[in-house]
Amino acid sequence: METILPDSLRALRAALEQLPGIGPRSAERLALFLVQSEVEVARGLAEAMVAARERVRFCERCGALAELQTCVFCDDLRRDGALLCVVERAVDVLSVEKSGAFRGRYHVLGGRISPLNGVGPEDLRVEPLERRLVAGGIREVILALGSDVEGDATSHYLAQRLAGRGVRISRLAHGLPAGSGLEYADELTLSQALEGRRELV
Ligand SMILES: [Zn+2]
């Protein structure tokens, strides 16, 4: 099959194979579909990919995905600005949103503390988080990090560092799948974990 596929088709297959969750067989199936579809289908897909990649960036205030300087969650005045949900990655914001159980604002850390991988607090958006607390108006910080060892360690570090500012620090109730991040939690589990959050400080 290798030598009988045209070069450009093989290149497309190789490009698709770089995507997460796409193995060699899926990549080949998608590539074969695209070269046999209307050219507008392929062009539309290519244009949508480039446009999204060029336009989507991180909110300057909270770190969530945005197209403007700030995201829809920071800009929505109906949301409760006194509640701040801290997550590891921008995609975790989407998981919490889908649970429908949170109507506050967000703060994306950009990862978790991981000494083994050389990631310390200074590599994360911890200082911007402190600045938001200093700026005032925040009543509770909800730590919605993974329930594995590094997620736990990051939660405890943040709880200690943010303590003593008159802000309640809580974290999600247990119930998230062990050893995984928020993206594996279903919506009901996540909303129950939010409702049953417990106070750390
Ligand atoms: Zn934002």
31 CA to centre of ligand 1 in angstroms: 36
> What is the model's pLDDT at position 137?
94
Considering the entire predicted model, what is its pTM? 0.82
77 CA to centre of ligand 1 in angstroms: 12
> What is the model's pLDDT at position 196?
80
52 CA to centre of ligand 1 in angstroms: 18
Phi/psi-derived region of residue 13, left when phi > 0, alpha when psi is between -120 and 50, beta in every other case:
alpha
61 CA to centre of ligand 1 in angstroms: 5
11 CA to centre of ligand 1 in angstroms: 38
> What is the model's pLDDT at position 9?
97
64 CA to centre of ligand 1 in angstroms: 5
47 CA to centre of ligand 1 in angstroms: 26
153 CA to centre of ligand 1 in angstroms: 25
Q: What angle do CA 115, 121, 125 make, to 5 degrees?
A: 135
pLDDT tens by residue, the chain, 201 residues: 567 899 999 999 999 999 999 999 999 999 999 999 999 999 999 999 999 999 999 999 999 999 999 999 999 999 999 999 999 999 999 889 988 889 999 999 999 999 999 999 999 999 999 999 999 999 999 999 988 889 889 999 999 999 999 999 999 876 455 445 566 667 777 888 888 888 876
> What is the model's pLDDT at position 178?
46
**DSSP secondary structure, 144-181, as one string:** ---SSHHHHHHHHHHHHHHTTSS-EEEEPPS-SPTT--
> What is the model's pLDDT at position 179?
46
Residue recorded with tokens 């939690």: 185
